[in-house]
Amino acid sequence: MARQKNEQIRTAIMEAAQQLFMEKGYIATTISSIARAAGTSQSNVYVYFSSKFEIAFAVFDPWLRARVAELEKRVMAQETPEESLRSLIDGLLHGIAADRSGQTLTLVQALATAKPGDEYNPELLIWTMSRIHHMIGGALPSSDPTERNALTHSLMLAFDGIALRQNLRRGEIEDGLSVDALYMMVQALVERRSQARS
Amino acid sequence: MARQKNEQIRTAIMEAAQQLFMEKGYIATTISSIARAAGTSQSNVYVYFSSKFEIAFAVFDPWLRARVAELEKRVMAQETPEESLRSLIDGLLHGIAADRSGQTLTLVQALATAKPGDEYNPELLIWTMSRIHHMIGGALPSSDPTERNALTHSLMLAFDGIALRQNLRRGEIEDGLSVDALYMMVQALVERRSQARS
DNA sequence: ACTCTTTAACGAACGTCATTCGTTAATGCG
DNA sequence: CGCATTAACGAATGACGTTCGTTAAAGAGT
């Protein structure tokens, strides 16, 4: 009944955006540079996406899901609870939140500059939390729900903290120290539990 | 030797900026609205501040120092280590990071949109960390330096996490749960220590 | 009191962006 | 073979931070 959208253009826009966001961050990347790199005009970008914000999430969503899925595989392959927790914390904070490719910089900048109309699907956040919760359950099968929830929330909080810091307070605090500190506290929680049972 | 700056104008700019940042956040506040509210012209604002970013920090710095000083008084007035730690965590996260007045929104937005030339004095961050470290030392006088540093870093990480979330992911995660979770982990660390000593 | 110099103050630009508009022409449908 | 739809595009539009050009206030030197 009418002319069809060309899906190749949509993916070209997303790939160009991902590349440019990685290189220059969300704010410094202009719609016209994305359009140029994707081989189309800036106004045509708005045929495929309703805003710059929407492009950022279209790029970030599959990226995060892939990283979390990778992480889950790695965590589940560990043999001891300690190794599982260590690889979970390390992978989540060093590997994803503090990633070098600039994806979380994009996320943080996009959220910080979001305009009233810009909203994103909270499903991604919920899914991420549920995966973390599941990994904790795998590492500590006998933990009680309260502890599992506490750990999940603490990890999500740390994720946000690292994401903010990595991108906005570059290098002022050693992230390694924060990760070690968090791990020490998780260990304390685990040890208290095993002491209480013995 | 030349005409002098009028300090009343400087403070009027800062007060107008603080008010507007609180109402609308950093990004939605324009220099011209600040100038209008301060009773001067937008170009004259640049006689007193070199950028919008600098205004944000001129406002945020004394605000944060005052909040931390208040917190320190409250924490030091507690009687037991448990009460001290609880009031520290609660005051830092609920009271300051998640503040309702929009000051941390200003901070996060200013940092997220900072341009290459925009830099801020890391002294404020260092000072804040040293105050937290000192409060932890007051609550747990017999703790060892490693634990004290771990707690300090964890609290700063949580501060950043809450700041990001409060402002950018409004209401999607209950912050109360995160604060409780963090407190549970701190308790575990403290209890492990006292168990180890007995 | 009278210059001279510095610079606060201001209105008018400037440059950069995200987004929208007006128009054209592909493309599927009856 | 028209007709309606809409992808595509170049040219606006509207905001906003920042800079420019000019004016005049006000301290220093004589």
Is B4's CB less than 7 Å from nucleic acid strand C?
A: yes
Q: Which two tokens stand for residue A5?
A: 């959208």
What CATH number was assigned to the domain covering residues B52-197?
A: 1.10.357.10
Contact A126, A67 (CB under 8 A): no
Question: Would the CA dihedral through B21, B24, B27, B31 be positive or negative?
Answer: negative
Distance A170 CA to C18 C1' (A): 27
pLDDT higher than 80, residue B171: no
Predicted confidence (pLDDT) per residue in B136-155, tens digit = 999 999 888 999 999 999 99
B157, A181 in Cβ contact below 8 A? yes
pLDDT of residue A70: 98
Distance CA B32, CA A195 (A): 62
**A182: number of CA atoms within 13 Å, CB side?**
32
CA distances for A59 relative to A11, A63, A119, A122, B185, angstroms: 10, 7, 15, 15, 35
Q: Quick one: pLDDT at residue B191?
A: 85
Looking at CA atoms only, how far is residue B72 from chain A in angstroms? 22
pLDDT for A49? 98
Q: Which of A84, A5, A96 is nearest to A49 (CA)?
A: A5
Q: How many CA atoms does the CB half-sphere of B16 hold within 13 Å? A: 22
Whether A112 and B27 lie within 8 Å, measured CB to CB: yes
Lowest mean pLDDT among A53-57, A103-107, A169-173, B3-7: A169-173
Distance B1 CA to C1 C1' (A): 18
pLDDT tens digits for range A107-136:
999 999 999 889 888 999 999 999 999 999
Output the average pLDDT for chain A: 93
Which of residues 19-58 of A have CB within 7 Å of strand C?
28-32, 42-43, 46, 50-53
Nearest Cα neighbor of A158 from A88, A80, A74 is: A88
End-to-end CA distance of chain A: 72
Strand D close to A44 by CB, under 7 A: yes
pLDDT surpassing 70 at residue A198: no
| Interval A23-47 mean pLDDT | 97
Nearest alpha-carbon partner for A58 in A104, A5, A111, A120: A120
Residue with token string 């700019």: B13
Burial of A13 (0-12, 13-18, 19+ CB in 10 A): buried
Share of chain B above pLDDT 70, in %: 97
| pLDDT, average across residues B28-34 | 98
**In CATH, which superfamily holds the domain spanning A53-197?**
Tetracycline Repressor, domain 2 (1.10.357.10)
Strand D near-CB residues (< 7 Å), A 21-40: 40
Provide mean pLDDT across the span B153-172. 87
Listed residue (A78, A100, A103, A102) closest to A89, CA to CA: A78
Point out the residue nearest to D26 (C-alpha to C1'). Answer: B3
pLDDT at A73 over 90: yes
Q: Which amino acid residue lies closest to nucleotide C30, measuring CA to C1'?
A: A1
Q: How far is the CA of B30 from the C1' of D15 (A)?
A: 10
The answer on pLDDT for A171 being more than 70 is no
CA–CA distance, B189 with B185 (Å, rounded to integer) = 6
Would you say the C-beta of A187 is within 7 Å of strand C? no
Q: To which H or E segment does residue A84 belong?
A: helix A81-90
Distance CA B145, CA B151 (A): 10
Residue nearest to nucleotide C9 (CA to C1'): B44
Question: pLDDT band at residue B192, thresholds of 50, 70 and 90?
Answer: confident
Mean pLDDT, to the nearest integer, of A81-89? 96
Mean pLDDT for all residues in chain B: 93
The structural domains of chain B, with segments of one domain joined by +, span: 1-49, 52-197
Q: What is the pLDDT of residue A114?
A: 94
C-beta within 7 A of nucleic chain C, residues 16-45 of B? 40-44
The per-residue DSSP string of B137-182 comes to HHH-TT--HHHHHHHHHHHHHHHHHHHHHHHHSTTTS-HHHHHHHH
Is the pLDDT at B120 greater than 90? The verdict is no
Q: What is the pLDDT of residues A40-71, one digit of tens each?
A: 999 999 999 999 999 999 999 999 999 999 99
Q: What is d(CA B137, CA B168) in angstroms, rounded to the nearest whole number?
A: 33
What is the predicted pLDDT for the residue at A192?
A: 81
CATH of A1-49, one of 1.10.645.10, 1.10.620.20, 3.40.50.970, 1.10.10.60: 1.10.10.60
User: What pLDDT is stored for residue A163 in this prediction?
Assistant: 92
Residue B194: CB atoms within 10 Å: 10
**Which of B163, B164, B189 has its CB closest to that of A188?**
B189
Of A112, A146, A191, nearest to B112 by CB-CB distance is: A112
Q: What is the pLDDT of residue A2?
A: 82
Q: What is the pLDDT of residue B59?
A: 98
